[in-house]
Copies of this chain bind each other. A is one copy, B any other.
Amino acid sequence: MGKGYTPETAAADVAAALKVLEGRWKLILLFHLFGGQVRRYSELKKRIPGISQKMLAQQLRALEADGLVRRTVYPEVPPRVEYQLTDWGQALCPVLDGLLSWREKRHSQ
Protein backbone atom coordinates (compact mmCIF):
# COMPACT_ATOMS: atom_id res chain seq x y z
CA MET A 1 0.00 0.00 0.00
CA GLY A 2 1.63 3.28 -1.05
CA LYS A 3 1.56 6.49 0.91
CA GLY A 4 -1.33 8.86 0.66
CA TYR A 5 -3.91 6.11 0.83
CA THR A 6 -6.68 6.29 3.37
CA PRO A 7 -8.70 3.13 3.99
CA GLU A 8 -11.55 4.78 2.07
CA THR A 9 -9.61 5.69 -1.06
CA ALA A 10 -7.85 2.33 -1.18
CA ALA A 11 -11.16 0.52 -0.73
CA ALA A 12 -12.76 2.70 -3.40
CA ASP A 13 -9.99 1.92 -5.90
CA VAL A 14 -10.30 -1.82 -5.29
CA ALA A 15 -14.07 -1.56 -5.50
CA ALA A 16 -13.73 0.21 -8.85
CA ALA A 17 -11.56 -2.64 -10.09
CA LEU A 18 -14.02 -5.23 -8.79
CA LYS A 19 -16.97 -3.36 -10.26
CA VAL A 20 -16.11 -4.52 -13.77
CA LEU A 21 -16.41 -8.13 -12.52
CA GLU A 22 -19.63 -7.69 -10.57
CA GLY A 23 -22.81 -9.53 -11.27
CA ARG A 24 -23.75 -13.09 -11.95
CA TRP A 25 -22.42 -13.46 -15.49
CA LYS A 26 -19.29 -11.41 -16.13
CA LEU A 27 -16.79 -13.87 -14.68
CA ILE A 28 -18.37 -16.69 -16.64
CA LEU A 29 -18.14 -14.61 -19.79
CA LEU A 30 -14.50 -13.77 -19.10
CA PHE A 31 -13.57 -17.40 -18.53
CA HIS A 32 -15.23 -18.27 -21.82
CA LEU A 33 -12.92 -15.76 -23.50
CA PHE A 34 -9.63 -16.19 -21.63
CA GLY A 35 -6.81 -17.52 -23.73
CA GLY A 36 -7.60 -15.52 -26.84
CA GLN A 37 -10.77 -17.36 -27.71
CA VAL A 38 -13.12 -15.66 -30.16
CA ARG A 39 -16.83 -16.34 -29.75
CA ARG A 40 -20.01 -15.32 -31.50
CA TYR A 41 -23.06 -14.10 -29.61
CA SER A 42 -25.04 -17.23 -30.39
CA GLU A 43 -22.06 -19.38 -29.45
CA LEU A 44 -21.84 -17.80 -26.02
CA LYS A 45 -25.59 -18.13 -25.64
CA LYS A 46 -25.35 -21.85 -26.34
CA ARG A 47 -22.32 -22.43 -24.12
CA ILE A 48 -23.64 -20.55 -21.09
CA PRO A 49 -26.64 -22.37 -19.66
CA GLY A 50 -29.37 -20.26 -18.18
CA ILE A 51 -28.31 -16.84 -19.43
CA SER A 52 -31.02 -14.74 -21.03
CA GLN A 53 -30.49 -12.75 -24.19
CA LYS A 54 -30.93 -9.56 -22.22
CA MET A 55 -28.23 -10.39 -19.71
CA LEU A 56 -25.84 -11.71 -22.36
CA ALA A 57 -26.09 -8.55 -24.43
CA GLN A 58 -26.10 -6.26 -21.39
CA GLN A 59 -23.05 -7.78 -19.71
CA LEU A 60 -21.09 -7.99 -22.96
CA ARG A 61 -21.77 -4.30 -23.53
CA ALA A 62 -20.63 -3.52 -19.99
CA LEU A 63 -17.40 -5.47 -20.44
CA GLU A 64 -16.86 -3.72 -23.75
CA ALA A 65 -17.46 -0.29 -22.20
CA ASP A 66 -14.97 -1.16 -19.46
CA GLY A 67 -12.35 -2.07 -22.04
CA LEU A 68 -12.05 -5.79 -21.31
CA VAL A 69 -13.84 -7.06 -24.39
CA ARG A 70 -13.61 -6.12 -28.05
CA ARG A 71 -16.72 -6.45 -30.20
CA THR A 72 -16.43 -6.99 -33.93
CA VAL A 73 -19.42 -6.69 -36.25
CA TYR A 74 -19.31 -8.26 -39.70
CA PRO A 75 -21.71 -6.56 -42.10
CA GLU A 76 -23.16 -9.75 -43.52
CA VAL A 77 -26.57 -11.29 -43.92
CA PRO A 78 -27.32 -12.85 -41.52
CA PRO A 79 -25.35 -10.60 -39.16
CA ARG A 80 -22.28 -11.95 -37.35
CA VAL A 81 -20.77 -10.47 -34.20
CA GLU A 82 -17.64 -11.77 -32.52
CA TYR A 83 -16.33 -11.13 -29.03
CA GLN A 84 -12.78 -11.46 -27.71
CA LEU A 85 -10.70 -10.12 -24.85
CA THR A 86 -8.50 -7.06 -25.15
CA ASP A 87 -4.91 -7.34 -23.93
CA TRP A 88 -5.97 -5.64 -20.75
CA GLY A 89 -8.84 -8.07 -20.28
CA GLN A 90 -6.49 -10.99 -20.79
CA ALA A 91 -4.15 -9.46 -18.19
CA LEU A 92 -6.84 -10.06 -15.60
CA CYS A 93 -6.26 -13.82 -15.77
CA PRO A 94 -3.16 -13.96 -13.51
CA VAL A 95 -4.82 -11.63 -11.05
CA LEU A 96 -7.76 -14.00 -10.72
CA ASP A 97 -5.28 -16.84 -10.32
CA GLY A 98 -3.84 -14.96 -7.35
CA LEU A 99 -7.29 -14.80 -5.88
CA LEU A 100 -7.72 -18.55 -6.32
CA SER A 101 -4.36 -19.19 -4.65
CA TRP A 102 -5.38 -17.03 -1.72
CA ARG A 103 -8.61 -18.97 -1.38
CA GLU A 104 -6.80 -22.30 -1.33
CA LYS A 105 -4.51 -21.07 1.41
CA ARG A 106 -7.34 -21.15 3.89
CA HIS A 107 -7.76 -24.90 3.84
CA SER A 108 -4.02 -25.42 4.15
CA GLN A 109 -3.69 -23.68 7.50
Contacts and interface: CB of A to CB of B under 8 A. Distances in A.
Interface of A: 1, 7-8, 10-11, 13-18, 21, 27-28, 30-32, 34-35, 47, 67, 87-88, 91-100, 102-103, 105-106, 109
A29 to B, nearest CB: 8
A14 B102 contact: no
B30 A11 contact: yes
B87 A91 contact: no
Contacts of A94: 98
A106 B88 contact: yes
Contacts of A93: 1
B17 A99 contact: yes
Given A28-B8, A88-B109, A98-B95, A103 B34 contact: no
Given A11-B28, A87-B109, A98-B98, 13 more contacts: A7-B28, A7-B32, A14-B31, A15-B27, A17-B100, A17-B102, A88-B102, A92-B102, A94-B98, A95-B95, A95-B98, A95-B99, A95-B102
